[in-house]
Structure 1
């Protein structure tokens, strides 16, 4: 569908070339266009052109809330769900896309501002669900899209070989979404640049529990089924949403400041994880002293069985651990609540802003808890004797932190260790006091928002205007290979 200015451009521009009645007909057409609602909409983009996942996410709208209601039976591996997606149009829209992989769609409706829900046309192509509302949506409109869907959710294999999406476990399932897996269990705008609040209502067979982020607002058991409802008020990127289904022991407590702590542990991991999880309030208090006020309304952890996932993930409010975590893992994943969850990258190229900060949090914890200092860790990495395997030491220099060499390498050592080394170079450049102000101020300045590497370097330079960061950026952040000087 094309807009009227395009059609006007098709009319010959020379007055001598127009038929005598053409000016009058053209004027009538313009009046009719204006009376019928103005410029016609156009389809939203089917991807946001992320440097590593160009077809991920969608253009033309901004999601503000997800209302997800679904039932899952581990026995049949079948999910039946309804997603209500509230969004604001950022352009005049004739159609828009949602990311949804594998599951079957049975119906789609769209309700514009102040209107009733109307059936929408839709079609599928790969992970793109294209929705065509009954009437075009105007820029600025708030609209609600309801998608009814069902099927067996998929497990994805990432470019780096790890598995994500809907992971089936011994007694249920675990949904992990970094970087693309959330599209396997609900439709949405699945790119970290579009954050929203969530209500997730999950029904499972009696005897199982369904755990998610945010706060548990209701849990009931009726006719052999248990339904739990979780509310996440603060904005969340879809890759940080999770649902864990299984036979969990759930404990509730509060920190000294009154922050709710909700911990769900697989019974097989209870003994091994008890001591570390008991330290969670202490770790959180320490991180607040370094990073500023905790950015969310609850905290906690989900501990599943070893092997249920191949990695821990910083799912918002309560990170997921595959087996009992050690203190370093807990420090790392909780630090992500500031760096990655609250301050979320604009694109996947900015992954080091997540992992470099969380890794450096581990260094700071060790430094202040009778371990190696950050300076000693930095020097060991530079000399190449930090890891037991020389190949791992060499891998630190495979590419610059700010320029990962492809989607398969977003979780490689340069993003983690060399990313942390960039932060240590900043600390060496400005001193401890200013560095503390920078990392805390960065978390505050972009709280619940998105930021990229250019935003970060600009913030650092503004925070320390008399310092010279040329070598830090050129050699450590963007430079190829091992810098000549530590």
Structure 2
């Protein structure tokens, strides 16, 4: 995590050592940035919902604790529609300004110290915190911050490069319960105005997360406990407590595929590293996404909470994000594939683990087909350095193309080097940030190979392979050769091509041949054969990103 100063706080933050490759990859951001000279280490959000039928005004207190190098002001992102009443710095009331969607306060003279800024404000957010009337539940409220919508209701540095601990202290009617990131500290009955019954709920994280993942859910929940899962496979001692939070009328349909949630966490914990957070709740919510990977509290579209609607694949995808996207977060938005590409491929890895090779290859085939149909595949690179509008940050490039690229890399360097690189990358950057160069460096170390060519052609170029392949048999030399023609639509790619050879005796042998980045290339297949093969099949392991005619 590239911070100005290391933090000492009530909960520990694991140190992260960043490589020189990361610094070399830094470039001016078109999509926001952290605050120069400041590092936010903790947020405390107090949210007060009124004890009435409809929360027409919600009161907020957002307290930001930051380490300072030499900054003389702090600008927090906050939508102009939220009404700021007052601001305090280190307990003293100070003046503030409201330039655009922000609130700015001057800081006292000083350097290399810690500052604490509190902002008191109110309003009814129109985004970020989704407050809705419900004919059965009265009203519900759900945070839905991705990618930069926390600012619509929370005063924060709303960028993934500045991760922090967070405390949620929420007062809501006794009819509702509150779910949030972290571990539950208390649920305490209180009396509101005119003695109205409220509950004060406090959640606290012990691991830093970025603002896009900082959420609450407030609803008359029915909770199904999934119990203690993935025991001895978490960062914290013991097991990973999992649960499903849904509306009372849909409680009977659970757990459905959530019955596999414990197995999914155990699988990823074994494959990557210990589960990073305090617990894992699966929540029916008002998210605009099918699922949103909020740290320790995954929010799903509530309409999916019917029998069979939430697939194992969706649960696996969002759970994989707890490691990739949450614990290891892209430092800049053009590298969001480090989140979405990983979740896409790791959901497929779950399929491979749970349902076998045939199901896995079918899923990879579907991922590739979706990528090939998308116009953005030929318009933009996966790492889109021109990105300046975060409404376009998610697309098939960062999901399907990036996920399939990880699959190709696994075939290129082999399972042992691939998963060793994954574990090293995760261990080096967990609870911090990373860029693509960090991942490349991990794979280069694990495979003892230079991989610039791989990341350049698949991550920094638009397009895909569009090629023709054929084979021929030389009876005199008893050699099988493969010819690949490419480059008519996109520049030629260097490829690792699977060749399945059915021998004259009927035995199938698979070998890989390296195809150079040339328009026309002929390679000898490294097999000893006594006679002409019965058949030759290319890309039988579905590991070529593109179209291969044969």
TM-score bracket for the superposition, by shorter chain length = 0.7 to 0.9
1:215-238 Cα distance to aligned partner (Å, 9 max, x none): 111002233112211011100101
1:184 Cα deviation after fit: 1.8
Equivalent in the alignment of 2:171 = 203
1:186 Cα deviation after fit: 1.7
1:267 Cα deviation after fit: 2.4
Judged with a 3 Å threshold, the aligned counterparts in structure 2 of structure 1 residues 303 and 222 are, in CA distance, closer, same or farther, namely same
Cα separation, 1, equivalents of 2:84 and 2:352: 52
Judged with a 3 Å threshold, the aligned counterparts in structure 2 of structure 1 residues 256 and 366 are, in CA distance, closer, same or farther, namely closer
Within the alignment, does 1:327 sit opposite 2:312 as a pair? yes
Cα separation, 2, equivalents of 1:402 and 1:268: 43
Within the alignment, does 1:213 sit opposite 2:190 as a pair? no
Structure that is richer in strand per residue: 2
Within the alignment, does 1:190 sit opposite 2:158 as a pair? yes
Instruction: Give me the TM-score of the superposition, normalised by structure 2.
Output: 0.71
Equivalent in the alignment of 2:464 = 482
SS at match of 2:404: helix
The alignment of Structure 1 onto Structure 2 pairs a total of residues equal to: 414
Cα separation, 2, equivalents of 1:50 and 1:128: 21
Counting only pairs closer than 5 Å after superposition, residues 8-407 of structure 1 correspond to structure 2 as: 51-54=29-32, 57-73=34-50, 75-91=54-70, 93-101=71-79, 102-111=81-90, 117-133=91-107, 135-136=108-109, 138-155=110-127, 164-168=128-132, 170=134, 171-223=139-191, 224-252=197-225, 253-255=227-229, 257=231, 258-304=239-285, 309-322=288-301, 323-324=304-305, 325-370=310-355, 372=358, 374=360, 377-378=363-364, 381-382=367-368, 384=369, 391-392=373-374, 395-403=376-384, 406=387, 407=389
SS at match of 2:72: strand
CA contact (8 A) 2:46 2:60 kept: yes
1:165 Cα deviation after fit: 4.5
Cα separation, 1, equivalents of 2:190 and 2:260: 36
Equivalent in the alignment of 1:449 = 432
Equivalent in the alignment of 2:547 = none
RMSD of aligned alpha carbons: 2.3
CA contact (8 A) 2:230 2:263 kept: no
Cα separation, 2, equivalents of 1:50 and 1:353: 19
SS at match of 1:187: coil
SS at match of 1:401: coil
Judged with a 3 Å threshold, the aligned counterparts in structure 2 of structure 1 residues 271 and 51 are, in CA distance, closer, same or farther, namely farther
Judged with a 3 Å threshold, the aligned counterparts in structure 2 of structure 1 residues 214 and 282 are, in CA distance, closer, same or farther, namely same
Cα separation, 1, equivalents of 2:186 and 2:27: 39
CA contact (8 A) 1:476 1:483 kept: no
Judged with a 3 Å threshold, the aligned counterparts in structure 2 of structure 1 residues 197 and 433 are, in CA distance, closer, same or farther, namely same
Instruction: Give me the TM-score of the superposition, normalised by structure 1.
Output: 0.80
Cα separation, 1, equivalents of 2:29 and 2:247: 38
SS at match of 1:109: strand
CA contact (8 A) 1:398 1:414 kept: no
Cα separation, 2, equivalents of 1:444 and 1:242: 26
Q: Which segments of structure 1 move beyond 6 Å, counting only runs of 4 or more? A: none
1:251 Cα deviation after fit: 3.8
Cα separation, 1, equivalents of 2:277 and 2:146: 20
1:297 Cα deviation after fit: 2.1
CA contact (8 A) 2:348 2:364 kept: no
